[in-house]
Structure 1
Amino acid sequence: MSIEGIEAVFLETHNWGRAAKFYEALGFELEFATDHNSGMLRHRTGPYLFLAEVPRSQETKTSLVLKVTDEQEFRPDPVLEVTTEFEDTHYGTRELTVRDPDGRDWVLSAPGKA
């Protein structure tokens, strides 16, 4: 299996502005913000943090994103419960989701097709 480690932490929030300021106070630096209340922050060379605002009526979720070096070389072990196969994202990667034994989803992110 060709996993390099944790690529990112994806967090949903009910208040993008407050959440971004909170993480900046912890030492994260804003790399970019979108025009739809989301953005990416990074702390030194570690995984990035992506925040996305969702409506208050929606429960917030947290996802850990693992980096896959090459989708073509990735062969999931039969013990893994694959919940979504690799598919294109609107931000240029390809992602597959697996569920761990406790019901948490893990996103595996591979480079997009050129």
Structure 2
Amino acid sequence: MTTEGIEAVFLETHNWGRAAKFFQALGYELEFETDHSSGQFRNGDGPYVFVAEVPEDREPQTRIVFKTPDADAFRPDPAVEVVTPFEETHYGTREMTVRDPDGRLWSLQAPAGN
């Protein structure tokens, strides 16, 4: 089984409020905000953008998340280095981390319980 396109973009920021205003100015609507300086934005039917604030001493990261419908049915090709296998998340999905040939990390996301 392969992935089904991009599910989301996860972004880290040093200033949640400024980042939220930036995405809203680009036409994204805030779908929900957490009580710990993060939230999810959407613009149309495309991937959602999840933004989370991190401490100033941490370099903000960006990660693209690919969608897969069933974590249990997903069998990565040997050319794909699995860094962490599918694990349950605290936000109701299962995620796997893989590394591309240039060392970049990518996430695969599946519904929980599959």
Alignment TM class, shorter chain as reference = over 0.9
* TM-score normalised per structure 2: 0.97
Partner of residue 84, structure 2: 84
Partner of residue 2, structure 1: 2
Rounded Cα–Cα distance in structure 1 between residues aligned with 2:28 and 2:104: 25
Counterpart secondary structure, 2:67:
strand
Counterpart secondary structure, 1:72:
helix
Structure 1, unmatched stretches of 5+, are none
Counterpart secondary structure, 2:46:
coil
Partner of residue 54, structure 2: 54
Contact 1:2 1:69 in 2 (8 A): no
Rounded Cα–Cα distance in structure 1 between residues aligned with 2:17 and 2:50: 13
Deviation of residue 101 (structure 1)? Answer: 1.1
Partner of residue 14, structure 2: 14
Deviation of residue 103 (structure 1)? Answer: 1.3
Rounded Cα–Cα distance in structure 2 between residues aligned with 1:30 and 1:104: 28
Deviating beyond 6 angstroms after TM superposition, the runs of 4 or more aligned structure 1 residues are: none
Structure 2, unmatched stretches of 5+, are none
1:28-85 deviations in whole A, cap 9, x for unaligned?
0000000000000001110000000000000110000000111121101011010001
* TM-score normalised per structure 1: 0.97
Partner of residue 37, structure 1: 37
Rounded Cα–Cα distance in structure 2 between residues aligned with 1:36 and 1:61: 17
Identity percentage of aligned residues: 66
Q: Which amino acid aligns with 2:87?
A: E
Q: How many residues align?
A: 114
Structure 2 residue 73 is matched with structure 1 residue 73: yes
Contact 1:86 1:95 in 2 (8 A): yes
CA RMSD of aligned residues (A): 0.9
Partner of residue 93, structure 1: 93
Rounded Cα–Cα distance in structure 2 between residues aligned with 1:3 and 1:79: 15
Counterpart secondary structure, 1:3:
coil
